[in-house]
Every structure is written in C-alpha cells, then in structure tokens.
Amino acid sequence: MMAVTTPQKTLRIALAQLNPTVGDVAGNAAKMREARLEAARLSADVVMFPELFLAGYPPEDLVLKPAFQDVCRQICEELARETADGGPAVLVGLPWVEDKNLYNAYALLDGGAVAAVRFKVDLPNYGVFDEKRVFAPGPLPGPVVIRGVRVGIPVCEDIWGDEIVECITETGGEILLVPNGSPYWRGKTDERLNIALARVTESGLPLVYLNQICGQDELVFDGASFVVNADCSLACQLPAFRESVALTVWEKNDEGWRCADAPKASVEEGDEADYAACMLGLRDYVDKNRFPGVVLGLSGGIDSALCAAMAVDALGPERVHCVMLPYRFTSNESLSDAADCAERLGVRYDRVPIAEPVEGFEAALKPVFDDRPRDITEENLQSRARGTILMAISNKFGSMVVTTGNKSEMSVGYATIYGDMNGGYNPIKDLYKMEVYRLSSLRNRWRPEGALGPDGVVIPENIIVKAPSAELRENQKDQDSLPPYEALDDILECLVEHEMRVSEVVARGHDLETVKKIERLLYVAEYKRRQAAPGVKVTRKNFGRDRRYPIVNRFRDQGQVAFKPDEALASAVGKARSEAYEA
C-alpha cells in the first residue's frame, strides 16, 4: 500500500528583527545563532533574518571585495551545517557569487545544507540605493519548500512592483516572506504597508514583511516589521527601533494560510519616530565605530541642547562630555542656560574660555591684515577656535565630537567651515530649525523607549523660548541675516524636498527677493555641505545621500537668465557675510 503524506497544516515562523553591523560577518553570525536558539525555544520551524543580514546592509562597495564575498559564503556554509541538529531552518541574506555574477541573495539553510537560494530581481537605483552598480539582477523566482510549505521570497524592492509576486503566485507560492533593508524616513511606515497590501490584494497570499533595525552611517533602519493576512488584516506588528525575535503561528484551512497568533506592538510615529531615529543613528555610529563617548560644545542654544539630550538618551550621561566655550559676546543668560541643561542631563560639564586663543590669532594676523576693519573674519576666528578646542579634547580622550548644526543652517551656509562644522557625526543634520524646536519640546514631556537619559524637563524652557543667536558680535540674532525660521523652513522644504520653481514658492505667499536670496545661498553653500560630518537621515531628501548637486553651478531659477560672473562674485560675498555661526 502506498503511504499517504499528510498535508502541512501549521507552520511556526520566527522573525528575527535584529541589528547587524556592516562587515562584521562573524558578529552577525553570532547574533543569528543566538536568535536561532531563541527560535528553537519557541518551537519555531524556521527563523527568518533581514536582507543581506550576514554581510550587513547596505555593504556598498565592500561587497565587491572577493575576500569579503568568500567570508560571507564560508560562514553561511558553517551555519548551514549547524542546521543538521534538527532545529529550526534558517532564512538569511548574503552576497552570493554564481557564474561570475554577484547577487543579492537569500538562502534557505536546512538539514545541514544550503537547501535553496533565491536572488533579488529588482535592484533599486534611486535615492540612497545604488544596487545596480554592485549586483546583477536575478531571474524571476519560483517558491522554495520549507517544511512542506511552498514559500515565495521576493527580496525588498521585489514587492514594489507586481511582476515578481505574480510569478511566485503563478508557480504555486502559498506565503510571501519578504526580507528587507528598508531605511527610515518620515512617513515610511504607511508607505511600506500600502505596498504590501497592494501585493496581498493582487496575489491573494499572506505576506511577512521583515525589516532590520540599525544605524548605518547616515541611514537608520527602523524595523517595524509586520504580517498581513490574505484578507488584508494586520496580523502582527513588531516594535520600531528595537530588536525583537518574535514567533508567528500559521494555520492552513480551505482558503489557504493565515497567521493565527503573533505579537502586536505599538510603533512610534511623527516627531516621536524622528527623535527615536536620531537617537538610534547616533548610538550605532558611536558604538559601532568604538568611540568611548562623545564631546560637544554646549552653547546655551537650542541646537546643542537637543543634541546633548539625544546623546545622553543614546549613550548615557557618563559617556557625554559637554563644554561651554565662552567669549566676551557670550551672554550671562547663555552661561546659565548651558549649565542648567548640563545639570539636568547629568553630564560632565566644563568651561573653556576662548579669549586667549582668539586674541592670539588676531595678534598673529595683525601684520597680514594691515589694519583692515573688523568683519566676518574675526567672528569666524571665534568659531574656529571652538572647533579646534573640541577636536583637541577629542584627540586627548578619544571621544567623538558631535556637531550640532540643523538643516536650515546647512541649507544656507549659516555655519563656519572648520569651526562649528568640525566633528564626526550630527544627529540633527536633517532636521529643520522649527523641527528642532518641536523635538525639544517633545523630549521635555516624553522619554523614548530605551532612552538612557532622565525623565522630565531636560532642556530648560528658556532655551526653547529665547531668540536664537550665534553670539559672535554684540546683540546678534539669527534673524539679522535670515528670514524668520517659519518662513525659511517652508522655503527650503519647497526648494530642497520638492524642487519647486521660484514662482511656485512665491505663490505660497513668500517675498520674491527673499526666495531668490535663499535659493542663491542654497546653491553656493554646496561646497560646505560636501565637507560636513555625516548625520541621521529623517526626511525623504537629505543632503549627501539623496540631494546631490554640483559645487560649480551657475544655474538660477530666475526665468533661466544666464548667471553672470559679477553676480557669482556678489553671491559669494553674500555667502561669506552670513557664514559664521556657532550652534
């Protein structure tokens, strides 16, 4: 009599939403082993990891090194042999060379071997992604069999169109397992869910969306993994910005597979998500580069106060060193506010006056300057003295300098190159000034999950309500050189995020000459931004990864009239006149 095979009726899938480190193949494998042990404790049939988890994502050109490819393959095969123990199967992403092509691959490890491999088909090549320059596209994939279940594995971008999921459906796929390396930007959670729902609706198949969490240079990956059943109901939601190994229990009935049991966590949104992203990005940058801590100039202003709060939340107060660098233009109010902020945060706080180095520079330069009148040059000497002192502290103690300029300032060049721009990383680089105010007020009433800083008001209210000033000359205010930040930020968002015409920005109620001035400053500050420290991306279009403009650039959107050399000189002078700023 022929044996009858009983169809699989249940499947237990563990989702490993974890934090890899690019290039640390052994370390990432160790995290995989720990997660597999947890999955075994949960009686999972298979444990799933995010896209390219073994290599870390995005590996950029590191993935082109044959030695790196070899290590990834070697450790993958070691992990595969370990599955001979009868425990959960493993699904993991890694770079894979086959027939002299390099693929973004996803491998099934089971029964002591690499049981199947699928290659990413749709390679993104927009925004922060450059996968076409390093990977070859794979063929349209059919499903793989995991413990008797035919599972489709579209990798990340493969679900942003319909062709690949359609192929999986037509070749007998029963569940869609989607590994991702999907970076955070504001509103991304809803965008992902809508894409997943579109594929579920078209295919009639349930979908698992697994994303990594980590900070990697400018990018932050927020996790927030989820499961959608075939009826488009949300069956599972993992937390954002935190690691998780979670079990999803699947049952099969006459209509197909359904996720019957899984956790549902809340997910940060809006300003809370932005703050959490900045905190995670800074923490991972410092920790993964093995800095013992950070040092920053605490001026008594809003930007440095928010950066200090984020640093304490990310690293703990014992790893944050704040330094006040006063000069004769520093007000007593700023001295008091900075000391108050440092005390609330519980950090080490030092005062290092800069009068002697600034006046020493001026004395040394006096014969060269030949009694020329004081101008922006002397203001910038203050900022550059501060930058030099902070870098010296960094060199002496090993701490990384945190820079504190916001996106509004970096847009128009309201920062001093080799001065307050000195440093290793900037957690608020992609936040406009009004967003800095919002997040500061938010932090005073809300402490993020996993934050290491104190509860309550950590940024003194006076820092939030007072008029911002660089304090590089008597009675200086930011609005002496710039329009009010409410107007400036709206103009910049129009020009940077949306690439709007000047006429369209003016139609929103802004003054024509103001918009033209801001556009001009935006262009001529490009050379500064090229030399700025990296920082967390939270908007759809940040500087560097997303917005890539030429430094030599004479186009101006003023009716497309040719830009004359004397106008270029005038704008350069205007730029220089507004460049000094100490956050």
How far apart are the C-alpha atoms of 412 and 421, rounded to whole Å? 14
Catalytic annotation on 264? no
- Of how many residues is the chain composed? 583
Neighbours of 356 (CB within 10 A): 9
Is the C-alpha dihedral spanning 515, 518, 520, 522 positive or negative? negative
How far apart are the C-alpha atoms of 391 and 375, rounded to whole Å? 25
Catalytic annotation on 537? no
Burial letters for 296-317: b for 16+ Cβ neighbours within 10 Å, e otherwise? bbbbbbbbbbbbbbbbbbbbbb
The order of strands in the sheet holding 244-253 is: 113-119, 101-110, 89-98, 46-48, 10-17, 244-253, 256-261
What are the beta bridge partners of residue 93? Answer: 106
Catalytic annotation on 156? yes
Find all residues with CB under 8 Å of 402, minimum gap 6, and list them: 282, 294, 295, 296, 307, 311, 423, 424, 425, 426, 427
CA dihedral 296, 301, 302, 304 (to 10 degrees): 0
From 51, 157, 409, 493, the catalytic residue:
51
How far apart are the C-alpha atoms of 394 and 133, rounded to whole Å? 36
How far apart are the C-alpha atoms of 431 and 492, rounded to whole Å? 12
Strands of 58-181 (E only): list them.
89-98, 101-110, 113-119, 144-146, 149-152, 175-180
How far apart are the C-alpha atoms of 67 and 45, rounded to whole Å? 33
From 72, 76, 156, 167, the catalytic residue:
156
Whose CA is closest to 282, among 273, 271, 272, 293? 293
Assess contact for 175 and 166: CB atoms under 8 A: no
Strands of 38-88 (E only): list them.
46-48
From 120, 288, 433, 537, the catalytic residue:
120
Q: Which residues are catalytically annotated?
A: 51, 120, 156
